[in-house]
Structure 1
Amino acid sequence: MIRIAIPNKGRLHDPTVTLLKEAGLPVLEGGTRKLFARTTDPEITYLFARAADIPEYVQDGAADVGITGLDLIDETEADVDILLDLKFGSANLVLAVPEDSPITSANELAGMRVATEFPHITGKYFRNLGLDIEVIKVSGACEMTPHVGIADAIVDISSSGTTLVTNHLKMIEKVFSSSVYLIANKKSKVNSDKIGQIKTAVESVLRAKGKRYLMMNVPAGSLETVKKVLPGLAGPTVMKVESDDSILAVHAVVDSDSIFATVDELKKTGAKDILVVPIERMMP
C-alpha cells in the first residue's frame, strides 16, 4: 500500500486535490475532516496532514509520497527524494521592514533582530551574507512583530505582496523562492514501481497544461506549407482521407498561446474543418 500525504487545508489543498484528480487519482469518501481517504487505485491511499508536517512524515516513512512547498522541505531539512516541481503554489520568502524604516538592504541588519516562521532558511540566508543577526522564531502574525518592538525586520511568505502593504511593510530582499513539489521517502522510492507510476501520471497532466490538439483537413498540395505554419512538438501526424485522395487529415499538438495566430495562418493555406481540442494528459 502506498500512502500519499497531501495538505489538509490552506492554499495548497484545492490545487493539489485537483491535480491528483486530473492524474486519475481522485479523493474518494474523504475530506479534510478525515485523516485518510481512498483513491480509485486500491493500492494507494491519501493521508491528510498539515503542509508543514508533510516533509517529516515522508522522511520518517509515515507516508511514502508527499506534496508540499519547497520552502517547508528546506526549512525542515527533510531527507527526501525530490521527484517533481508541480508548477503551482509559487511564493517567495521575503525580507521586509516597516515602510518608514531607513533600511534598504539586508547588510544594514547586522546585529539586529529578524522574526520569522522559517528560522532555518533565515539563519542560512544571513550566514551566507556573513551577517550576525538574532533570529526570533514566531508561529504566526509575523508581520506584526516590527510594529510591537519584537523585531527590526521579518522574513515571511509572500505571493502577491498585498499582506506586506496592508501591514505597512516594504520588501527589501528576496530570500527564497518556492513552489509545490512531489517528494518521496528514499526507501519507498527504491522499492516501489507504484511511486514511479504516480510520478508519471502527475507529470503527464503537467505536460498537457498549455497545450492543445489541433486537427484539420488539408489539400495534399498544401501539406508542406502547413508543416511550416504548425509549431508542433515533433511535427504533425498526416493521414489520408479515405473519401478524397486529394485531402489529408493533419493532427498536431501546439501551444495554446499560439492557437489564435496559427489557425489564421492555416486557413490561408487552405486548411479547413479545423478542430481545437484540450488535452488532459501527455505521456512522455
Structure 2
Amino acid sequence: MSKLRIAIQKSGRLYEDSLQLLKDCGIFINNGKDQLKVTVDNFPMEIMYLRNSDIPQYLEDGVVDIAIVGENLLIEKQKQVKIVQKLGFSKCRVSLAVPKDIETNDLSYFQGKKIATSYPNTLQQFLNKNNIKADIHVISGSVEIAPNIGLADGICDIVSSGSTLFKNGLRETVTLLTSEAVLAENSDLNADKKKILEKFLFRIQAVLKAKNSKYILMNVPNDKIPIISKVLPVLKSPTVIPLAEEGWSSIHSVIDEKRFWEVIDELKASGAQDILIIPIDKMVI
C-alpha cells in the first residue's frame, strides 16, 4: 500500500507545532531519539525530519510528497510546488530593519546601501519592484548583528515579535511579505497518494475549523428565541432545548472566535443569560 511521505523540520520554530498538528489529526508517532524517518502505524504516512532549508528542494524533486514548511521559504527558494493548505501557525513577516537611531521609515533610505539577509531572492525582487539599487550581502544566520559590526546599513529578515531586532538595536521599517506555516505538495503525486492526501486534508481542516470556533450555550426566554437566533452566526440553525423552568429554553450553537465579543454583547442585549463558551476539539462539516 502507498504511503504519503511528509517532511517536517527536524528542529526549529515549526517543529513542535507540526508534531502537534499531526497529533490533533490522530496521527501518532513513536519515533526514537535522532530518527530521521518514521513510519506511522495508524495512517498510511512516513515522516521525514529534514533541515528546514532543504525541504523545498526535496519536495520539488519528489523525495517527499508533502511538507509542512514556512510560506516565506517556498517564496525564497522559488520551487515548483503547490500550497494546498495554510495552517495558521508560525506566523511571521519578512521585513527590512535599520539601526534604531535612523529616524526615517522611507524605503529610499536603502538606495545605494548595504543590506544583510538570508532571503536574497525575496529581497532582490522587492528592490527591483521599487526601483531601489542596493548591495545585498547574503548571510546564513545571525543577520541581526550585521549593522553592529559594520557589515551592512540594514537587514532583511523574518520577524515575529520583534524582540530580536530590539535586542540588537534595530527597528522594523518595511514589510516585504507576511507568512505562516503551510502544507505544500509535489506536483506529480499519483492517484493513490492523492487519495491519502485528501484524507489528511480532511482531518487538518476539521482541526483548523475547531480552533477558530467556539461552542456556545445560553438560557433564553422563549419569546426571545427568534431574536437570538438571528444574532447567532450558525452553520444551519441553533439547537433549542426546553428547560424545566416554564418559558425558558437553552440554545446551543457555534460561533467564530473572531466574532466572539461582538456576538456576546449582542446576545446579552437581546436577553440571553448564563452564557457558556466551550472550546471545540474537532469540527466536521
Normalised TM-score (structure 1): 0.85
User: Is there any run of 5+ residues in structure 1 with no aligned partner, and where?
Assistant: none
- 1:233 aligned onto 2:216: no
Displacement of 1:104: 3.8
The 3-state SS of whatever aligns with 2:146 is: helix
Return 90-99 or 70-79, whichever deviates more. 90-99
Structure 2: distance between partners of 1:57 and 1:117: 20
Structure 1: distance between partners of 2:41 and 2:110: 53
- 1:194 aligned onto 2:196: yes
* Aligned residue type for 1:46: I
Structure 2 residue corresponding to 1:24, chosen from 16, 26, 29: 26
Contact 2:27 2:43 (8 Å CA) reproduced: no
Structure 1: distance between partners of 2:103 and 2:276: 59
- 1:206 aligned onto 2:208: yes
Indicate how the Cα distance of structure 1 residues 131 and 265 shifts in structure 2: closer, same or farther if over 3 A, else same: closer
Q: Name 2:7's counterpart in structure 1.
A: 5
Contact 2:9 2:52 (8 Å CA) reproduced: yes
The 3-state SS of whatever aligns with 1:198 is: helix
Structure 2: distance between partners of 1:103 and 1:21: 46
Indicate how the Cα distance of structure 1 residues 32 and 91 shifts in structure 2: closer, same or farther if over 3 A, else same: farther
Displacement of 1:261: 4.2
Structure 2: distance between partners of 1:51 and 1:208: 28
User: Following superposition of structure 1 onto structure 2, how do residues 56-75 of structure 1 map, counting pairs within 5 Å?
Assistant: 56-75=57-76
Structure 2: distance between partners of 1:111 and 1:253: 54
Contact 1:92 1:178 (8 Å CA) reproduced: yes
Displacement of 1:201: 0.9
Contact 2:27 2:40 (8 Å CA) reproduced: yes
Structure 1: distance between partners of 2:190 and 2:221: 51
Normalised TM-score (structure 2): 0.85
Contact 1:90 1:180 (8 Å CA) reproduced: yes
The 3-state SS of whatever aligns with 1:187 is: coil
Indicate how the Cα distance of structure 1 residues 103 and 265 shifts in structure 2: closer, same or farther if over 3 A, else same: closer
* Aligned residue type for 2:196: K
Structure 2: distance between partners of 1:225 and 1:132: 60
Q: Name 1:138's counterpart in structure 2.
A: 139
Displacement of 1:67: 0.4
Indicate how the Cα distance of structure 1 residues 126 and 238 shifts in structure 2: closer, same or farther if over 3 A, else same: same
Structure 2: distance between partners of 1:101 and 1:217: 57
Displacement of 1:121: 0.6
Contact 1:52 1:72 (8 Å CA) reproduced: yes
* Aligned residue type for 1:210: N
User: Is there any run of 5+ residues in structure 2 with no aligned partner, and where?
Assistant: none
Contact 2:228 2:267 (8 Å CA) reproduced: no
Contact 1:97 1:103 (8 Å CA) reproduced: no
Contact 2:99 2:169 (8 Å CA) reproduced: yes
Number of residue pairs aligned between Structure 1 and Structure 2: 279
The 3-state SS of whatever aligns with 2:188 is: helix
Report the RMSD for the aligned CA atoms in angstroms. 2.8
